[in-house]
Amino acid sequence: HCPFHNAQREAEKLEGGFAGFRVGIKSFVDDYRARAIHGRGMNVGVTSEGQLFIGKVQSSAPRVNLDQELRLDLEARPAGSGYAVTLRAEDPKGKKLAETSRQVPGEWLAGGVALVSSSGRIDPTPEPLRTLTGYKFYPPGQERGGTMRFWFADWTLSGTKVDAHDDRAYGPILFTLYTLSRGTLKLSAQFPPLAGAPMEAKLQVRNGGNRWKTISTAEIDPDAWNAVFRIPSWDDAKDHPYRVLYAMPDANGKVRQHAYEGTIRRDPKDSSEITVGLLTCIWDMGFPHSEFLRHLAWHKPEVLFWTGDQVYEAVGGFGVMETRNPDLLVPSMYDYLRKWYVFGWATRGLTRDIPSVCMPDDHDMFHGNIWGCGGKPTDPNLPVTGYQGQDSGGYKMPPRWVNMAQRAQTSHLPDPFDPTPIQQGITVYYTDLLRGGVSFAILEDRKWKSAPKVECPQAQITNGFPKDPYWDARKDDVPTAELLGQRQLDFLEEWAADWSGGAWMKFAVSQTLFACLQTTPTGDPNDELDPKLPILPVGQYPPNDWMMADHDSDGWPQHGRNDGIRKWRKAFAMHLSGDQHLGTTSQYGVDDFRDGVYAVCTPAISNLWPRRWFPSKPGKNPVKGKRDTGDFFEGFGNRITVLAVANPHQYPGGGLEGLRSRATGYSILRCNRETRQIQVAIWPRWVDPSAPGAKPYEGWPVTVKQLDNGLHGAKWTLEEIG
C-alpha cells in the first residue's frame, strides 16, 4: 500500500496516464536490473479520470476524486487456480473511497514490483513471458503523452510471497571510475541527485587487516553529481583495497553511513604482457549485458577503453530532452544522468577494480553526429532537434550541460595536457595515460572537427552524407577544415617524443576510425536504411555494394586525417577507435599503401545500425583471397589496407538474435614486451572465450610488430654513416 499525492499544477487538467503499481514485472533478459529498466507487468492503480483498474480499465470501474491525498492498498490472495486481486482507495484516515477486484493467473504476479506515475497509455493485460523473448528493439507500450504526475510516500510491501534483496540497492554511491598513471590516482564516485543532502564524500584505503584510513575528501559536483579524488605520489607497486564513504540521513532523520568498495590495482610495469580491452557503443538492448561483461573479464584486461556512446538518447525506453531553454537545463541534465547511470549499473562490477577510460562521442552529447568546431554553439536560429542544427557545426546543448556530461565521463582521467577551455568555456580532457609501460594518447577527435556542410556547401550534406549526386567526395579536402586541431597536433608531437616513465609501447585512442569503411547497396547516400537491410547468411556476399562517404568518420578532412597519422607514425603507435559499429583491423596509407600505422576499430557492444563493408570490387593484395580485404581507396580517396572485417551475418550461437546478427563484440589487444608484438582479437559478445575451442571472429587474431606502425612498407632510406 502507498499514499500518493496529485502533483499537478492547479491550472492544469489531468489528461492521460495513470498512477499506482506495476506487479509481476518480467523482462526478455532475466535480471533484476533488466526488469527495472525494461520490465513489463500488470499495471494497477487509478487513471487520470479517477477510475480504479487492475490490468485494464473497464467502463463500470469505480471512481475517486484525485484532488486529495489517496492511499492505495493492493492485496492478492490465492483463489482457485489463480489469485484474487483487490485494489482499494482510501483517504488519509483509512476511510474506503472505492474498491475493485479481479481474478488473475498466478504468473501475472510473479516478478518485480514498482511504483508507476505514467503519462503514457495503460498497457493491456500482460501476455505470457514467452512472447517477451521476441522483442527485437524497444519493449512495447512506451508511448508518451498526457500530463499525469504524482508523488508517492510511505510505500510498504509485506506477505509470504514477497522477497527482499537489500544487496541489490543502487545508491547512493552508484559506481566508481579510476585511472592510475605516473603515480597519480584519480577516482570519480558517481551519485544520484541529492537535493538537500550532504555534499561531501570520503575516500579511504585499507592499511592491513580491517583498518581503514581516510586519505581524501571531495565535494560532490551539483551538476554531474560526482565526487572526484586526486591523490599524487600513490604507491602503485601493490593493490590497494579502497572504499568511498558517504553519510546521509535516512527517512527518520538518522545519519547512515554508506560505503562502496573496490580495489586500486597496482601498475603492472614489470609485466611482460599488458592486456587492453577496447569497447564502444553500449546501447541498452541486452542490458545489463552480463554475458558480455563476464566474457570480457575472462581476458583479465589491465585497462579498459570505452571509446564512446556510453549514453544513447533512447536508453531506458523514454525520450530525450534536447533543449536550449535555461528553465529546462537542469531537467535535461537529469535526463542525461539517468542514462549514464544505466551504463554504470551494468559495468560497475568491472570499473570498480579495473582502470577505465571513458571518452564521450556524439550520442554522449545528445547529437546524432557532432562537428565540435572548437566549441562554438550551433546556429541558434535552427532547431535544437534534427539534422539542421547539428549540421551547422558546434554544440547544440548549452555549455553547462556539455561540461556536466564531460565531467561525469572524464573527470577521473589524468590531468589534461593543456586544460585551457575552448569556446563557450567548454572544458577539454585530451591527455596521456601510462599503464604497465604502455602509453596511450587520449584524443578528442570531435571537439575541433569542422562542419562538412559548412565547408562543402556544394555537396548538400545532411547528417554527414553528401546529397548532390555529382559531388565527388574524394575531392572535398578543404584546406581550412580541421580535424584534431592544432592543440592536439602539438600534444601528439610532444607525446611521440616522450618515452619517460618506462614507456616501451604507444597507442593513440580516439572516438572513430580515420577512414570510412562503409558500403551500401541502395544508391542513396545515407545510412538510414542500414537497420532495414537484410542480414546475409555467413559466407554470402552482396554483389553491388558501393563505398560510402560518411563525414562522421574521420576519413574527412583528408589532410587532417593524414596529419594525425603522421604524428602517430613518429611514436610507432597503433590507432584504437570505435563508433563505426563495424569491427575491423587495417593499416592506414598516406602517400602509399601501408606507410601508416595499424588501426583497430572495435565493434559495437549493442547497436541498431549494422554497418557493413562489402566492396563490389576486391582489394589488391587481399588476405588469403578474402575479397573484403586488401588495398582500397575508400570513399574519400584515402588509402587503407583492410586485414580483417567482422561483417553483420546470421551468426549461429546463443544470446539475443538481434545482437548476434549485428556482429556485436569487443576487442582484446595483448602487448608483449619481449617480442614487441601486439596480438589483436575481436570477439563476438556471445562467445564464451573460456570454452574449449572458442575463437574470435574469422580473420583474427592479427599480429602486428610494433615497428611496423610507420616503417612497414616504407621506401625511404637513411644515408650511410661514413
The strand order across the sheet containing 677-684 reads 356-358, 303-306, 273-279, 665-672, 677-684, 702-705
List, for residues 103-112, the tens digit of each pLDDT value. 999 988 999 9
Summarize the confidence of residues 487-499 as an average pLDDT: 98
Half-sphere exposure of 326 (CA within 13 A, CB side): 1
Q: What are phi and psi of 129, to 5 degrees?
A: -60, -30
Q: Which residues contact 251 (CB under 8 A, 6 or more apart)?
A: none
User: Which residue(s) pair with 631 in the sheet?
Assistant: 620, 641
Q: What secondary structure, in 3-state letters, does 299-311 show?
A: CCCCEEEECCCCC
pLDDT at residue 23 above 60? yes
Question: DSSP E strands: which ranges in 174-317?
Answer: 175-181, 184-190, 200-206, 212-219, 226-231, 240-249, 255-264, 273-279, 303-306
- pLDDT attached to residue 251: 82
Q: 3-class DSSP state for residue 524?
A: coil
Work out whether the CA dihedral 517, 523, 525, 526 comes out positive or negative: negative
pLDDT at residue 140 above 50? no
pLDDT at residue 197 above 90? yes
pLDDT level of residue 145 (50, 70, 90 thresholds): low
pLDDT level of residue 252 (50, 70, 90 thresholds): confident
| Cβ count near 178 (within 10 Å) | 24
pLDDT at residue 128 above 50? no
| Cβ count near 670 (within 10 Å) | 17
pLDDT at residue 262 above 90? yes
List, for residues 610-637, the tens digit of each pLDDT value. 999 999 988 999 998 898 999 999 999 9
- pLDDT attached to residue 143: 46
- pLDDT attached to residue 483: 98
pLDDT at residue 57 above 90? no
Question: Which 8-state DSSP code applies to residue 450?
Answer: P
- pLDDT attached to residue 13: 58
pLDDT at residue 523 above 80? no
pLDDT at residue 11 above 50? no
Q: 3-class DSSP state for residue 260?
A: strand
Q: 3-class DSSP state for residue 261?
A: strand
- pLDDT attached to residue 654: 67
User: Which residue(s) pair with 78 in the sheet?
Assistant: 83
Alpha helices in 498-593 (DSSP H): 558-570
List, for residues 562-611, the tens digit of each pLDDT value. 999 999 999 999 999 999 999 999 999 999 999 999 999 999 999 888 99
pLDDT level of residue 130 (50, 70, 90 thresholds): very low
Q: How many residues would you count in the chain?
A: 722
Q: Which amino acid is at 33?
A: R
- pLDDT attached to residue 4: 63
Summarize the confidence of residues 167-194 as an average pLDDT: 97
Please state, rounded to an integer, the average pLDDT across all residues of the chain: 91
- pLDDT attached to residue 138: 32
List, for residues 399-446, the tens digit of each pLDDT value. 999 999 999 999 999 999 999 999 999 999 999 999 999 999 999 999
